[in-house]
A and B are shown apart, each in its own frame.
Chain A
């Protein structure tokens, strides 16, 4: 008996170590692929040269190569990394704080809330900069999260996974309808919205994405702080309280982090679904139930997934490309379907 326990205690770290090594390698590979793959064929040497060598006396082809790398591929990779990080962490936090395997910024309506407010900002307040977008996105994400949680947790059983997911779906349907109303009245807003809503990593560029990085950083720090609290929460409210965990504090920290992360990701790359759903599940499968590890792994795997999806979209969509958001939704929907088919969800 003790032997089995010891072995289990020893195998878990090994699995975690292998998992993390693998995640780092995958992240590196996806970044490399994102820099290398595209309609213009640029060799590895030229890519490295463009990144590390600031020499400007170049031939025409080399100069074009450099422009493509620095002005096109580096920005979209950075946007993918930031948005993927934000969405992966947000998903992990949502699943932890609601104790809900179906939590995802898209499924729970948080993205739709951010979208609605951004659309209203574009159409009615003439907002054009992404720093302008982001405040609307934060407000919308906060409003949607609050509404979904309040509606989902009414009733005797509290916030069950299915009730939350259904409340999120309903809210998404409602918000989509309102978004359409705004867009029909305003052609210019519709034109801007349709590119943003497709979930593209290129639409906004680096100038729009970098100002949002601090918000994501704060969100990530809060997520790290929240990890230990989520471990306590996972034991159930009563036990967590007994262990001295302030439940209100834990929920507020998570909520602030979720709003910051989802809001910035949505403002940056549009409403992207399923990254927040799939990433924490893969993480939990590798790391086990410890939220400190789940959060760390999600922070690695979220960017990997989104950047890889972007690369895949470039490969499949040749000679054009398919937006990362669409690729992710086609990769992620099967994950949701598999989950719903297999897992006996708590509270059903």
Chain B
């Protein structure tokens, strides 16, 4: 009895720390949701035709004038919705990859998964003359196939993080070579169209592709929620996870399949938006503090990144010129990536 009490006493500070962390996480989530709402309001209201906040609310409630309805509900809302959805999908995909492979560089855009999608899509566009729907399907298939190839190659008595990443890097270089070949063969106009797709943009949002992403997210989110505990166990290392009754290898496989499906769908919908998958989860971990998985904050940060990037891309240049959102995420993500590498190495949490 005394022993039990002692053990409870030992556990008390741990529980307190955990409670504090979840309080902090809840606060972070609230702040992020608030920020996302503000950005959403801005992207719906501001543009060539700007609305006041009451006007915007009236329009959203279905009481707007015809032109307000058209601009907000048919032009801006689909774009915003798609940006939020792909932001969540990329962020969760990256978070799962990074957690499962225990390596901050193991995000789908670094290890060639989105690269596979790109190569397949560009092949479809330039060689087979695919339209947008077929291109999306090709991108989806490309991501799945490349991910399967990397998994099979990296599998050798279990998946090890660094091996998976380096083999992914090798495959990514091959895919890059293939892309270069395809781009150099095509007509200049087509090649430029392909380059634009390769940057990624949410400007082509239709309710049709929005619904595909939405349905997939709705199906996968509960699964990820269920896998949360297993992920936590995996973070402790394989041996501990196994002794806690979590089949490490099978869990990893299931989670990787989910992550690949998320990345493939998002890429198929908007193209490979650079670095969203890569930076969302590390930012979330930094904000929330160490130890947690912080999947919800990561997803919100992903959505925030894509919506802000799209807003900036639309309004950065004067006049009606607009940039693809991927340019903004790339320009912000690239330096952040280097900074992250530098600081994570310095503190000894080596990549």
Interface residues of A, Cβ cutoff 8 Å to B: 102, 106-107, 147, 150-152, 154-157, 160, 162-163, 165-167, 169-171, 173-178, 180-181, 183-184, 187, 190-191, 194-195, 197-200, 273-274, 322-323, 325-326, 329-330, 332-333, 336-337, 340-341, 348
Contact = CB atoms under 8 A, between A and B. Distances in A.
13 contacts: A151-B345, A162-B351, A166-B165, A167-B351, A170-B105, A170-B110, A174-B334, A180-B327, A180-B330, A184-B327, A190-B188, A198-B177, A341-B167
Given A163-B345, A187-B188, A322 B181 contact: yes
A119 B196 CA distance: 17
B42 interface: no
Contacts of B335: 174
Given A107-B173, A187-B192, A194-B184, 15 more contacts: A155-B345, A155-B350, A162-B162, A170-B341, A174-B333, A174-B337, A175-B334, A178-B331, A181-B331, A197-B180, A198-B177, A322-B181, A330-B174, A336-B166, A336-B169
A154 B347 CA distance: 9
Contacts of B171: 333, 337
B342 interface: yes
B233 to A, nearest CB: 23
Contacts of A273: 173, 177
A341 B173 contact: no
Interface string B178-192: 101101100010011
B125 to A, nearest CB: 15
A102 B166 contact: yes
B204 interface: no
Contacts of B310: none
A5 B86 CA distance: 64
Nearest to A169: B169
B327 A160 contact: no
A260 to B, nearest CB: 23
A323 B184 contact: yes
Contacts of A199: 177, 180
B237 interface: no
A340 B180 contact: no
Given A169-B105, A326-B177, A162 B166 contact: yes
Interface of B: 105, 109-110, 153-154, 156, 162-163, 165-167, 169-171, 173-174, 176-178, 180-181, 183-184, 188, 191-192, 195-196, 198-199, 274-275, 278, 324, 327, 330-331, 333-335, 337-338, 341-342, 345-348, 350-351
A194 B183 CA distance: 6
Nearest to B194: A194
A197 B184 contact: yes
A169 B162 CA distance: 13
Contacts of B327: 180-181, 184
Contacts of B110: 169-170, 173
B153 A181 contact: no
A180 to B, nearest CB: 6
A172 B156 CA distance: 27
From A155, A190, A191, A325, residue with most partner B Cβ within 10 Å:
A155
B180 A107 contact: no
Contacts of A325: 177, 180
A42 B170 CA distance: 38
Contacts of A151: 338, 341-342, 345
A266 to B, nearest CB: 14
A198 B173 contact: no
Given A169-B105, A170-B341, A340 B170 contact: yes
Nearest to B163: A340
B184 A180 contact: no
Contacts of A180: 195, 198-199, 327, 330
Contacts of B167: 336-337, 340-341
From B110, B154, B196, B350, residue with most partner A Cβ within 10 Å:
B350
A106 B173 contact: yes
Contact of B350 (A163, A198, A333): A163
A119 B285 CA distance: 36
B346 A154 contact: yes
Contact of A329 (B162, B173, B348): B173
A195 B342 contact: no
B338 A178 contact: no
A184 to B, nearest CB: 6
B341 A184 contact: no
A176 B330 CA distance: 9
B199 A173 contact: no
Nearest to A320: B185
Contacts of A176: 176
Nearest to B107: A173
Contacts of B274: 173, 177
A190 B191 contact: yes
A177 B173 contact: no
Nearest to B105: A166
A194 B198 contact: no
Given A107-B169, A199-B177, A156 B348 contact: yes
A195 B180 CA distance: 8
A326 B180 contact: yes
A325 B183 CA distance: 14
Contacts of A326: 177-178, 180-181
A42 B220 CA distance: 61
A194 B179 CA distance: 10
B153 to A, nearest CB: 6
A154 B346 CA distance: 5
Contacts of B180: 194, 197-199, 323, 325-326
